[in-house]
Amino acid sequence: MKYHIDTIPVWDAMKEDKECLFCEIESRMEEKYVEFYLGDSVMQPDVRQKTNKTGFCGHHYQMMHNATKKLPLGLSSYTRLEYLREHLDKYFDSIVSEDKSLKKSSAADMAEYINKITSTCAVCENVDENMKRYLYTFIHLWKSDSEFKQAFLNSKGMCLKHFAGMIEFSKKEMTDSVTLALAKDMAEVQKKSLARLSDDVKYFNDKFDHRNVEKPWGTSKDALPRAINKLSGRIIK
Ligand SMILES: [Zn+2]
Ligand SMILES: [Zn+2]
């Protein structure tokens, strides 16, 4: 077996009954890793070498900046900047230089390198690696635990990002027949889920009509954050 099975977080997230059980798992992991990179790890050379190289994506920088303690982010941002300067200066100097023999790289090379060096994130890498284990665990439970399978069939399903991610993962790791049967169950759940959510959002919008002011909100009061979760894979808090 390639992945360590960890059923408790998957069952816990299923019981939460949210728009995507994997977003729930992912969100908890993100918080854990953000805390890790803002904690004592900032002083560990191996961790700093990694974060100098990868940096963080905008979403995770934002989460770190929202934390009360600012110095850990200041320290890691400084050495990340130094790392980038060390690697980018040769491109800058080459572009700036009037000496044609020194112009080894073009502006396009520079843009490509900047895109490459800034498209990584230490938290995203940790989360993605762990997420594979949870996708694997989900399929294991779906195959072996009839109570779990039933809970999934009655659930709100997944966001579209994790829905597609799950199918791609299954295609890579499982037999065709497992992927086909899983995709069938997932499509059934997802079809119902999108129809229900769409009705909720429609009802939410209709509530802005003065004729509907007195009507109860029903299940539509939090329809927008749930729709954003389903559409984008982000949990709005
Ligand atoms: Zn999700
Ligand atoms: Zn990230």
Per-residue pLDDT of 141-191, as tens digits, reads 999 999 999 999 999 999 999 999 999 999 999 999 999 999 999 999 999
**Which amino acid appears at position 154 of this protein?**
N
- Asked if residue 184 lies in contact with residue 191, where contact means CB atoms within 8 angstroms, the answer is no
Rounded distance from Cα 232 to ligand 1 centre (Å): 8
Q: Which whole number is the average pLDDT over 126-131?
A: 95
- Predicted local distance difference test score (pLDDT) of residue 9: 96
Using the structure block, give the residue that is written with the tokens 């995770």: 60
- pLDDT(1) > 70: no
What is the percent of the chain with per-residue pLDDT over 90, rounded to a whole number?
Answer: 89
Q: Ligand 1 centroid vs 142 CA: distance in angstroms?
A: 17
Task: Say which ligand is closest to the CA of 54.
Answer: 2
Assessment of whether the complete model's pTM goes beyond 0.85: yes
- Indicate whether 215 pLDDT > 80: yes
User: How far is 91 from 154, CA to CA, in rounded Å?
Assistant: 55
**For the segment 47-100, what is each residue's pLDDT rounded down to a tens digit?**
999 999 999 999 999 999 999 999 999 999 999 999 999 999 988 888 888 777
Instruction: Report the separation in Å between the CA atom of 111 and the middle of ligand 1, taken as the mean of its atom positions.
Output: 32
